[in-house]
Amino acid sequence: MKKDTTKKLMFLFVFMALVFIGDRINFSKVIGAENQFFTLFQFFGPIAGGFLGPLLGVVSVLGAQLGSFLLLGKAFSVLNLLRLLPMLFAAYYFGTKKKYIGVIVPVIAMALFILHPVGRQAWFYCLYWLIPILGVVLPKKVPGRLFFRSLGATFTAHAVGSVIFLYTVPMEAAQWIGLIPVVAYERLLFASGIAISYVVLNTVLDRLKVPEKFIHVDKSYVLRLG
């Protein structure tokens, strides 16, 4: 038991180290927020839920984000703290087997977006959040299932993050509408990164013969070389 706990802690420390590194590599600027960026973390953050389960996955992502938050010396503003939430929901989405979670969060986000005076003028922006719902209702045998799961996770984060921004950062409806093609580009890249990193880490953990009892390795996403 002590050995298994040690291995799990090692996995958490490695994951936290990756988060710290990923958080230092900027990918694109967050529109409407000064000195805020999407980082490399967006490309692999949700997979913690797949290896540790939804609850422990959320805890590990939160711990990693808080650690990175402190080490990078980020300001403890309300908006910065709220920005921790999207990836927590994404990790839970990626790790849970409860389909209703993948429906409830985007539906609530869509309702909150449309209820806002500015969001109501750009209501079609939130149609993106039908994607997480699609990701959980598709049959398991549909080709590209992992990509849809990854896409659902990153758009869950997008839904939560967008609603937070809508209610905290002044933006015009035209700005939200202008973001529609940018969102498509960014989220397709994030989903690809999530799917690829999940396959790579599954393959590595399988090669290391990591016991299933403390970290779940999905054999269906292990690369068979040779």
Q: For the segment 186-217, what is each residue's pLDDT rounded down to a tens digit?
A: 899 899 999 999 998 888 888 877 666 667 88
Q: Residue 26 forms beta bridges with which residues?
A: 39
What pLDDT sits at residue 113?
Answer: 97
N-terminal to C-terminal alpha carbon distance within the chain: 34
What pLDDT sits at residue 201?
Answer: 86
Question: Which of the residues in the chain have pLDDT under 50?
Answer: none
What pLDDT sits at residue 92?
Answer: 93
Residues belonging to the chain: 226
SS (H, E, C) 32-98: CCCCCEEEHHHHCHHHHHHHHCHHHHHHHHHHHHHHHHHHCCCCCCHHHHHCCHHHHHHHHHHHCCC
Phi, psi of 26 (to 5 degrees): -75, 140
Give the span between the Cα atoms of 169 and 166, in whole angstroms. 6
What pLDDT sits at residue 71?
Answer: 72
Give the span between the Cα atoms of 163 and 149, in whole angstroms. 21
Structure tokens at 197: 């990193």
Question: What does each C-alpha distance from 17 to 13, 24, 38, 99, 224 come to in angstroms?
Answer: 6, 11, 18, 31, 27
The pTM (predicted TM-score) of the whole model is 0.86
DSSP tag of 117: H
